[in-house]
């Protein structure tokens, strides 16, 4: 009895935390400065339009899958690729910020320049510290070698990654849930307005999201099959690859292990499945600096935690980039290029000192509220298109940003109702992994630097949980309707006999 009670508490706590995060995000979601689309009737009309489109698309794609699977996949591919290609061609953008360095470094590597040469010439700039830039640029250089050394090739590569990620997400969700949930979650993921705009740029997120879904698929294989070294090895390889693009794989690994331990009756079997995965992943983390040196033959950082904590603890900037922190970084990095761990430790200490000072002055709560506001910002897709020199959409900024926000509000609302419904029906275990991932990504995001685009990993959880909730609600209403019909028929039958 005690064991069951503890398991129930462990299932409820993340769900309740997620409810708090959902409400906080809804309250703190930043509004567009253009008030021309802020009337209640306009918001309701846009919301109704979004719901109608999602409902009709889900219904149509379910029928299409039931009729002929090939047509379903062709239609889904067209829905993902055609709008993105049209957007890329119609609204051309330029590489900026990190996107610029991905493109420049990949171009040089594709032209057979060595990493040592790029390092000596100063072309790598700050990339040796932020090694995900090197890793993604390395992948991008292969794309440039095959399809041509151009920014457009990188944009189209990201569109293909979106296609692959959506197809794989459909497969993963269908393995766990009914067809309607798989179709609904895939469509929400593919049509998410802010991420739609952002996925047309040369960002790392489409590759990260593909690897994220791949890790979910491999987790399924590890869970659903007998303990297998092969599937466990593939899972850890996917997690390592994901971590090299964006260091968040530990969130997935922790969620996988906790979910398996709580929901699988045989704990010893769970240990067999994940001991190898955990050990090998920790070995990778410990030897990451050595691996980087073997791959790139230049001094690289083993961790960026120090910089992220430094920026995330900046009270004035709300945990975002500032010139003050940038100057601190360059001063420490230039002084310790061959020993970046020293620079990282110094930045980490400065960040921790800031947090201690805020806690002492009673400002820590206010700081995290500001960070949550910046982390939840749904204008990142629009902002980065504008920043990438796409002025055309600026003229329609009010409408675009309102659509992004209303879409987010709808998903927040659906997620809130779903978690409450799952707790009420005692089915929280069905979506527990995704709830745990949402909580893990949010907590990890709030501890370090925050930007709107950093909440992109939450989109997968939002999509699946919302689709599952809609399906459960549909089943409940359908069941009640069936019972009423049966009761009415029974009364009619009694009346006829009398």
Mean confidence (pLDDT) of the chain: 89
If you average pLDDT over residues 101-110, what whole number do you get?
94
Check residue 110 and give its pLDDT: 94
In this structure, the number of other CB atoms found within 10 A of the CB of residue 388 comes to 20
- The pLDDT of residue 84 is above 90: yes
pLDDT in tens, 286-305: 878 788 888 888 888 888 89
pLDDT, tens only, 376-412: 999 999 989 888 887 778 777 888 999 999 999 999 9
Q: What is the pLDDT of residue 3?
A: 57
Q: Is the dihedral of CA 189, 161, 282, 221 positive or negative?
A: positive
Angstrom distance (rounded) from CA 413 to CA 390: 32
**Tokens linked to 269:** 């079997």
Question: What single string gives the DSSP state of each residue in 115-138?
Answer: HHHHHHTTTTTTTTTSHHHHHHHH
Cα atoms found within 13 Å of the Cα of residue 52, Cβ hemisphere only: 6
457 φ, ψ (degrees, to nearest 5): -60, -20
- For range 320-347, the mean pLDDT: 89
pLDDT greater than 60 at residue 491: no
238-262 average pLDDT score: 92
pLDDT of 484 reads 63
Q: Which two tokens stand for residue 201?
A: 């740029």
Q: Residue 30 to residues 39, 147, 172, 371: CA-CA distances in angstroms? A: 16, 39, 33, 12
Q: How many CA atoms lie within 13 A of 209 on its CB side?
A: 32
Counting the structural domains of the chain, the total is 1
Name the band, by pLDDT with cuts 50, 70 and 90, for residue 62: very high
The predicted structure's pLDDT at residue 368: 92
Q: What is the pLDDT of residues 417-471, one digit of tens each?
A: 999 999 999 999 999 999 999 999 999 988 899 999 999 999 999 999 999 999 9
Q: In the prediction, which pLDDT does 372 show?
A: 94
What does the pLDDT read at residue 41? Answer: 83
pLDDT value of position 494: 55
Q: Are 251 and 258 in contact (CB under 8 A)?
A: no
According to the model, what pLDDT value does residue 271 have? 82
pLDDT of residue 268: 77
pLDDT for the residue numbered 60: 95
Is pLDDT larger for residue 191 or for residue 394? 191
Judge whether 33 and 420 are in contact, CB under 8 Å: no
Statement: residue 319 has pLDDT above 50: yes
What are 47-52's contacts with CB under 8 Å, separation 24+? 47/406, 47/409, 47/410, 50/403, 50/406, 50/407, 50/410, 51/410
Q: How confident is the model at residue 266 (pLDDT cuts 50, 70, 90)?
A: confident
Contact predicate 309/351, CB 8 Å: yes
Q: Are 408 and 46 within 8 A, CB to CB?
A: no
pLDDT in tens, 25-48: 999 988 887 676 778 888 899 999
Rounded Cα distance between 488 and 240, Å, is 59
pLDDT range class, residue 476, cuts 50, 70, 90: confident
In whole angstroms, what is the distance from residue 138 CA to residue 67 CA?
42
Q: Which domain holds residue 198?
A: 2-497
Q: Would you place residue 2 in the very low, low, confident or very high pLDDT band (cuts 50, 70, 90)?
A: very low
Q: Please state whether the predicted TM-score (pTM) of the whole model is above 0.75.
A: yes
Would you state the pLDDT for residue 493? 56
Residue 320 clears pLDDT 80, i.e. is over it: yes
CA distance 384 to 394: 11
């Amino acid at each position: 009895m005690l064991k069951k009670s503890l398991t129930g508490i462990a299932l409820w706590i993340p769900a309740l935390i997620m409810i708090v995060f959902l409400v906080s995000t809804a309250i703190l979601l930043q509004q567009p400065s253009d008030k021309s689309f802020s009337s209640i009737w306009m918001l309701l009309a846009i919301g109704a339009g979004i719901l109608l489109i999602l409902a009709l698309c889900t219904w149509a794609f379910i029928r299409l899958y039931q009729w002929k699977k090939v047509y379903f996949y062709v239609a889904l591919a067209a829905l993902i690729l055609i709008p993105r290609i049209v957007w890329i061609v119609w609204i051309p953008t330029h590489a900026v910020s990190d996107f610029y360095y991905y493109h420049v470094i990949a171009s040089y590597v594709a032209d057979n320049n060595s990493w040592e040469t790029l390092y000596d010439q100063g072309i790598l700039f700050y990339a040796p510290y932020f090694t995900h830039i090197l890793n993604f640029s390395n992948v991008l250089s292969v794309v440039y070698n095959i399809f041509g050394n151009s920014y457009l090739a990188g944009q189209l590569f990201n569109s293909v990654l979106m296609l692959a990620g959506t197809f794989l997400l459909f497969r993963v969700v269908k393995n766990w849930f009914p067809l309607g949930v798989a179709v609904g979650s895939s469509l929400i993921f593919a049509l998410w307005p802010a991420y739609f705009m952002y996925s047309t740029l040369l960002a790392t997120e489409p590759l990260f999201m593909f690897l994220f879904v791949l890790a979910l698929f491999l987790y399924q294989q590890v869970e659903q099959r007998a303990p297998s070294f092969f599937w466990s090895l593939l899972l850890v390889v996917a997690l390592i690859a994901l971590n090299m693009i964006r260091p968040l794989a530990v969130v997935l690994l922790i969620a996988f292990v906790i979910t398996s331990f709580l929901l699988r009756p045989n704990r010893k079997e769970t240990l067999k499945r994940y001991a190898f995965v955990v050990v090998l992943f920790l070995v990778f983390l410990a030897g990451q600096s050595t691996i980087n040196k073997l791959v790139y033959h230049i001094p690289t950082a083993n961790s960026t935690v120090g910089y992220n904590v430094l920026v995330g603890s900046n009270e004035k900037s709300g945990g975002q980039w500032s010139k003050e922190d940038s100057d601190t970084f360059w001063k420490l990095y230039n002084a310790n290029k061959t020993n970046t761990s020293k620079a990282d430790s110094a930045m980490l200490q400065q960040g921790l000192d800031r947090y201690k000072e805020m806690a002492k002055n009673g400002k820590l709560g206010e700081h995290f509220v500001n960070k949550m506001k910046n982390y939840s910002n749904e204008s990142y897709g629009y902002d980065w298109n504008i920043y990438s020199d796409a002025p055309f959409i600026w003229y329609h900024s009010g409408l675009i940003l309102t659509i992004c926000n209303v879409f987010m509000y709808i998903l927040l609302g659906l997620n809130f109702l779903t978690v409450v419904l799952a707790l009420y029906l005692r089915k929280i275990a069905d979506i527990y992994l995704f709830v745990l991932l949402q909580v893990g990504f949010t907590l990890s995001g709030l501890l370090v630097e925050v930007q709107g685009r950093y909440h992109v990993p939450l989109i997968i959880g939002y999509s699946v949980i919302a689709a599952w909730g809609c399906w459960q609600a549909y089943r409940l209403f359908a069941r009640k309707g069936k019972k009423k019909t049966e009761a009415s028929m029974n009364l009619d039958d009694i009346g006829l006999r009398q």
